[in-house]
Structure 1
Amino acid sequence: MKLQFLGATNTVTGSKYLVTAGSRNILVDCGLFQGLKMLRLRNWQALPLDPKSVDAVILTHAHIDHSGYLPLFARQGFSGPVYCTRATADLCAILLPDSGHLQEEEAEYANRHRFSKHSPALPLYTEQDARRCLRRLSPQAFEHDIDLGDGLTLRFSPSGHILGSAFVQLQHNHQSLVFSGDLGRLDSRVMAAPATLRQADYLVLESTYGDRLHDPSDPLIKLADIINRTAQRRGVVVVPVFAVGRAQEVMYYIHLLKAAGSIPDIPVYLNSPMAADATRIFHNHPGEHRLTGEQCDAMCKDAHIVSSAKESKKLNTRSGPMIILAASGMATGGRVIHHLKAFAPDARNTIMFTGFQAAGTRGAAILSGTESVKIHGEYVPIRAEVQALSNLSAHADYAEILRWLDGFEAPPRQTFITHGEPVAADALRHRIEETKDWQCTVPDYLQSFELNCPVAPVQVP
């Protein structure tokens, strides 16, 4: 087998890995780059492969940094199947059209207000592009072998990150290659624990939190404190959330706090119809999470669902106390940036992040303490209180990653550390080498390897 890294190197976005096995070309993940401009520009550059030459795409899960390039890839000529789990297919049916719609909406807004450097500003792809590519999805069950042809087989195992998230296990000529995708928490309140894997000749391992540990304290305590403090100021808590996973978990925690009388009964707005749809999917996949049907219902019980753009704009004229949850989780686009324009300049309000903020995103800038961020061509001052609830992350920290690696009965021949900022990826490489004596590599963008023993980088002429 041959493995080439087309994304998720020195960054947590743009996940794409090209696997060549015999006559088969397989793309594992097909994600968008986000964050730094130099990364986002890659979305507009041609990939170093002909999409028509790819036989199949495999998705580890539905998050846009793993699936969001698929509509463009299909428009460029890819016509094969897209293998994924059933919940991933359900979520992609929500996330991908929404991604295309948001891009069209943002391009139209930029053209109307004339703040784009491009004339006209164009979407990377449209909602219709996204809906067309959904026809390629081939939903599969966990823990059964799928024949990809020429002796190559695929198996999905639960990774515990979000609904449908999976470890991808490929077998060819008695060699195994495993992709962790995004590795979930081992002790999540909401998601079931990741499956234990026993063997891999080669492992591609994420490192989002490879250089840090999650806060061990109960997130309910800090969440209650943030909400109560803001409510006393009659302020607004603005929560940028990932519509799949984080939105549901935060809503569930707010429900628990209200039921216990730990926070006041203030209005909660879920300004993401997509997140509401994703919440209903929890009912359809009970084996992948720890919640009962009643608890799934409780997620949305305390939230007012904001459906239209008109309702969304009206929220910005309301006074607190209230809580607004809106996508996107890194404040890169979507309705949340309109709420930041409205509420970030007021010191009574709070901006609360609940997940990793990639370098170059507005979320990362706000968390770093910047005095202002650029939104729609103008600088918005950040006077609101800024908080991070990092222990709500759906990614394993380095201790949890090491615990998951303990399940392997023998070291892989090589472990490739990806999907992390440079410091995080190198820190995890060092920890694995020092504590487990495994062979680790942090690959570069577009680097290729022949998967034999030992691993050999492919020389580029």
Structure 2
Amino acid sequence: MSRHRHRSTAIRFLGAAATVTGSKFLLETAGGRLLVDCGLFQGYKYLRRLNWRRPPFDPTRLDAVLVSHAHLDHSGYLPRLRLDGYRGPIHATRATVALAGILLPDSGHLQEHDAELANRMGFSKHRPARPLYTAEDARAVLPQFVAHDFGCPFSPARGVQARFHHAGHILGAAIIEIETAGRRLVFTGDLGRLHSPMMMAPARIEEADVLVIESTYGNRRHDRTDPQKRLEKLIHRTIQRGGTIVIPAFAVGRAQLLLYHLHRLRKDGRIPRTLPIYLDSPMAIHVSDLTCAFQDELRLAPDDCRAVCATAHYVRDWEASAALDRDRRPKIIISAAGMATGGRVLHHLAAYLPDHRNLILFTGFQAGGTRGRKLLDGAREVKIHGRMVPVRAEVKSLDMLSAHADRDELLAWARGFRRPPRQCFVVHGEPAAADALRHALEHRLGWPDVRVPILGERIRIR
């Protein structure tokens, strides 16, 4: 039984409010307190600093955490939450539990590595630099996970029923449905594309009293150009001038989608079969190995899934990764992190950005303040490992490869409700995107009460 009672149901928006990252929504009910998502803030320094603040609630008084998917802006704060005292269950889908076992320790390892590098090279303002949490801290939180199948109800707190529905964003990604005190609340997490070649489409939800909806691309319509045609053109243009294509990619989902498109291009003879393709991210390699184990979430046949994952040479150690930068022959390097915030892609960028023959190709959302956003915005130099690197390479983006629904797809999904939710909260978007989706839901769908919450706001559920 919960140790806490509340007279009314309320949501506190502790992250992803007028920004994309740091998803955390504290749901206070008569039966207990639930944290929906527990993500890291990323991007601007003022946001990243929020990761170091103690949560504005007592973690020891939480009844449960529910995680929509394994991306770090939704799950990456969990080890820190444990360090702050939380020892309760963390509910997620089976694939999310499996992915968290890869992503969270990797996140801790990267933070340890970055802190060690900062101390060795002296570019941190802190003496000494320290990680937010370690790989050991991350491994310690993994036994708290409780795995669930899609569609199967469970009770995370007294008087509360919950279930996960397919969100179609990455493996394991879920729309979270919560029923409490006669109300149905739906949290979209990150909604995927309606016509992804790999992932199942987001589940249709017909009833909700309260909807918390993402808005990453709430003000944009993705380019409808065939991604394979665009990718083929960019690859040929780069290799003809003797360059290398460096693709910063999210290790979960985006790297595998890139392998799918490259597999199709190579199979159809549209790019040279001799052009080396490298997947240089231990995490992306682990995820690719795992992908075909969750066949029920994919549109691909088992044989196709295995062929896609065999498209690239897997680079498993730092020495082989560094050797790629000494080999200046044309090639494709797919490496994490997708926003160029850390990981092996940084030393590839340092090596290839100064040469005009090369192409840096982004394939997903770039949060404000990240190196990826700076490069797409035309920066002439970027800081990598404490030194400024000149930008002479070509920089492009394939936003049609996004795993997030765009404005039209978000509205198409929202039209699936039989009646408008009584309250709708637009989150997980920069201010212009969130406000544009709010306006569209109000004026195009006629929804009566749509708001963009501010960070830290507590709103009572009617």
TM-score normalized by structure 2? 0.97
Does residue 75 of structure 2 align to residue 75 of structure 1?
Answer: no
Deviation at 1:300, TM superposition (A): 2.8
2:452 maps to 442
Per the alignment, residue 146 of structure 2 pairs with: 138
Aligned to 2:176: 168
Counterpart check, 1:344 vs 2:324: no
- Tell me, yes or no, if the aligned pair for 2:31 and 2:159 is still in contact at 8 Å: no
Secondary structure of 1:436's partner? Answer: coil
Partner of 1:459: none
SS class of match (2:326): coil
Correspondence for 1:455: none
Q: Which amino acid aligns with 1:253?
A: H
CA RMSD of aligned residues (A): 0.8
Cα pair 1:228 1:264 within 8 Å, conserved: no
Question: Hey, what's the Cα distance between the residues in 1 that align with 2:157 and 2:296?
Answer: 30
Secondary structure of residue in 2 paired with 1:285: helix
> Residue 129 in 1 paired to residue 125 in 2?
no
Q: State the AA in 2 paired with 1:445.
A: L
Gap runs ≥5 in structure 1: 453-461
Contact 1:204–1:416 under 8 Å retained in 2: yes
Shift of 1:2: 0.9
How far 1:336 moved relative to its partner? 0.4
| In 2: Cα distance, 1:149 partner to 1:205 partner | 23
Please give the alpha-carbon distance, in whole angstroms, between the structure 2 residues aligned to 1:386 and 1:142. Answer: 39
> How many residue pairs were aligned?
452
Structure 2 alignment gaps of length 5 or more: 1-8
Residue by residue over 1:17-55, the C-alpha shift from the partner in whole angstroms, topping out at 9 and shown as x without a partner, is: 000111411000000000000000000011111111111
Aligned residue type for 1:449: I
Q: Does 1:284 align with 2:293?
A: yes
1:376 has 2:394 as partner:
no
Q: Which residue of 1 aligns with 2:54?
A: 46
TM-score, with length taken from structure 1: 0.97
Contact 1:110/1:121, CA 8 A, preserved across alignment: yes
The equivalent of 1:394 in structure 2 is 403
2:200 to 167, 172, 192: 192
Q: 2:12 is matched with which residue? A: 4
Shift of 1:379: 1.0
Verify: 1:153 aligned to 2:134, yes or no.
Answer: no
| Mapped partners of 1:277, 1:293: distance in 2 | 18
- Paired residue secondary structure (2:48): helix
Cα shift readout 1:53-86 (whole Å, capped 9, x = no counterpart): 1111000000000000001101111010000000
Structure 1, residues 404-434: CA drift from partner, whole Å, max 9, x if none? 0111000000110000000000011111111
Question: Cα distance, 1:320 vs. partner?
Answer: 2.4
Structure 1 residue 105 and structure 2 residue 121: aligned? no
C-alpha distance in 1, partners of 2:396/2:368? 17
Q: 1:214 maps to what in 2?
A: 222
CA distance in 1, matches of 2:106, 2:331: 26
Q: Distance in 1 between matches of 2:157 and 2:325?
A: 54
1:119 and 1:326 map into 2 onto residues whose CA distance is: 30
Q: Displacement of 1:282 after TM fit?
A: 1.8
Give the letter aligned to residue 367 of structure 1: L
Cα deviation for residue 392 of structure 1 reads: 0.3
Tell me how far 1:115 sits from its aligned partner.
Answer: 1.1
Determine which of 34, 41, 53 is the counterpart of 1:33.
Answer: 41
Identity %: 52
Question: Does residue 237 in structure 1 map to residue 245 in structure 2?
Answer: yes
Do the aligned residues in 1 keep the contact of 2:213 with 2:426 (CA within 8 Å)?
Answer: yes
3-state SS of paired residue (2:184): strand
Paired residues of 2:289 and 2:309 also in contact (CA < 8 A): no
Query: After TM superposition, which residue ranges in structure 1, 4 or more long, deviate above 3 angstroms?
Result: none
> Which amino acid counterpart does residue 25 of structure 2 have in structure 1?
Y
- Tell me, in whole angstroms, the C-alpha distance in 1 between the residues paired with 2:37 and 2:49: 19
Cα distance in structure 2, aligned partners of 1:366 and 1:235 = 18
- Three-state SS of the structure 2 residue aligned to 1:316 is helix
Output the CA distance in 1 between the equivalents of 2:394 and 2:192: 29
Kindly provide the CA deviation profile for residues 362-418 of structure 1, in whole angstroms up to 9, marking residues without a partner as x.
Answer: 000000111111111111111101110000000000000010011100000011000
Once structures 1 and 2 are overlaid, which stretch shifts more, 206-215 or 291-300?
A: 291-300
Is the CA contact (8 Å cut-off) linking 1:206 and 1:418 kept in structure 2? Answer: yes
Whole-Å separation in 2 of the counterparts to 1:311 and 1:112 = 22
Distance 1:142 1:12 in 2: 25
